[in-house]
Structure 1
């Protein structure tokens, strides 16, 4: 772990350049460029609101903001982990020629996705204004669930990038897993409709508590309970440590499979 931190400081300039490159590649040949990070969540919010508002609008106050907040969290997790998964294989030729800390590649993918997610908060704030959601000083604490989300995505991303080196079919399997995660996360439906017998399965989903805290801070202006915050943070730390451990134990063998 100490070596990770030392190398991260030593190669911070390279990491910044990788993040910039990932952002540029994402919007290459795009007319609107980074503005898609603001337009995309707005369009998805409109679609989901039109499709599901008749079903759940009466049960959920400020349905557009509710949907957009949940979608923003899920979109970051989905995009960042997908990008991180392919990062080692995509840079295989470079890793064979020179020494570069390998974990910089999945981390740069995650950080670039995190940057575009932060940009996506701007249209979320605009929707809050237009739908009459009150702003509170406690809204600033959304940095906590976002930080937990970053840790979770880093752990999962490092784990996936490791597995993908040995088992390339993980891409297809992971798309199925992401679909399952999406439906296990109350993005467009209220959590109250979930039967108690399934709640344990829902709460194992790492995004469930993050989405819950994110919405509580935005819609209610209330600070989540200490118990919920502590559990989510410990869960996020554990996932990130597992990802780091698996990556560290396997990184020396990557070149044999690239």
Structure 2
């Protein structure tokens, strides 16, 4: 509720911070925001060339480009939003020392700016679906739910990382290693069935991975044209609640000491 009240009260400031981040990211870029569409398309093309033949050969994935892009959009948003939000307090040190604003705004604005990129990247998904003649059903409208889940989960993780990075700067260097391992433990490229012969602990980690649930729901409504099982929604909501509770609690406890460490 504290996060929600901050978001509502300072929504105009958050929108200004989001616009600043987007303008800074694409400053002096000829294509600008168009890169949010081109990046996932280009990455999908490269990975499809490498992996599509292998998986289609064994009859495990029918429309690999759409399958891959669904996973890419969810994981890339989580990776981008948490990575840039982690340094939001440190990089806003001068502003924090001069003007009082709720410090929650800085990591939240980073997640929101990544959310704008995510929405633009959905155009890439629609293009790929049209090119590959994927079946489009009304369930695609339910894609809002997994996108909302990954947004809430990323916000909680971002709050935790932003607070932790102020005291432990090495986290900013270590996080890239963590997200690389997280990517391989997320069925973004490969079908989860390929892990049937893997050790039990690997299958357990992949199955409880919150991003796995978000991606499964997203693929159900976008690629398969069916509603996702209710258990996936329940599990996703639990992960969102846990991440937001832990992230906001850690951030609230640490925020008074930020000014002494940045």
TM-score, normalized by length of structure 1?
Answer: 0.97
* C-alpha deviation, 1:8, in angstroms: 2.7
Matches within 5 A, 1:187-226: 187-195=188-196, 197=200, 198-226=202-230
* C-alpha deviation, 1:171, in angstroms: 1.2
Q: Which residue of 1 aligns with 2:78?
A: 77
Q: Which residue of 1 aligns with 2:126?
A: 125
Q: Quick check: 1:139 aligned with 2:140?
A: yes
Q: CA RMSD in A?
A: 1.1
* C-alpha deviation, 1:247, in angstroms: 0.4
Structure-2 separation of matches of 1:250 and 1:173: 21
Q: Quick check: 1:19 aligned with 2:18?
A: yes
* C-alpha deviation, 1:203, in angstroms: 2.0
Note the alpha carbon deviations across 1:9-35, whole angstroms, 9 max, x for none. Answer: 222211110011011111111110000
Matches within 5 A, 1:39-188: 39-58=38-57, 59-188=60-189
Q: Structure 2: give runs of 5+ residues left out of the alignment.
A: none
* C-alpha deviation, 1:56, in angstroms: 1.2
Note the alpha carbon deviations across 1:192-241, whole angstroms, 9 max, x for none. Answer: 01136122111232211101111111111100011111111111111111
Which sits farther off after the overlay, 181-190 or 40-49? 181-190
Q: Quick check: 1:230 aligned with 2:231?
A: no
Q: Which residue of 2 aligns with 1:32?
A: 31
TM-score, normalized by length of structure 2?
Answer: 0.95
* C-alpha deviation, 1:41, in angstroms: 0.4
Change (3 A) 1:64 1:6: closer
Note the alpha carbon deviations across 1:13-65, whole angstroms, 9 max, x for none. Answer: 11110011011111111110000000000000000001112221232110011
Structure-2 separation of matches of 1:102 and 1:156: 15
**Secondary structure of the corresponding residue to residue 52 of structure 1:** helix
Structure-2 separation of matches of 1:12 and 1:228: 31
Which sits farther off after the overlay, 199-208 or 245-254? 199-208
Q: Which residue of 2 aligns with 1:247?
A: 251
Q: Quick check: 1:5 aligned with 2:18?
A: no
* C-alpha deviation, 1:128, in angstroms: 0.5
**Secondary structure of the corresponding residue to residue 250 of structure 1:** helix
* C-alpha deviation, 1:68, in angstroms: 0.9
**Secondary structure of the corresponding residue to residue 57 of structure 1:** helix
**Secondary structure of the corresponding residue to residue 61 of structure 2:** coil
Contact residue 187 and residue 206 of structure 2 kept, 8 A: no
Q: Structure 1: give runs of 5+ residues left out of the alignment.
A: none
Note the alpha carbon deviations across 1:117-162, whole angstroms, 9 max, x for none. Answer: 1110111111101111111111100000000000110011111101
Which sits farther off after the overlay, 202-211 or 87-96? 202-211
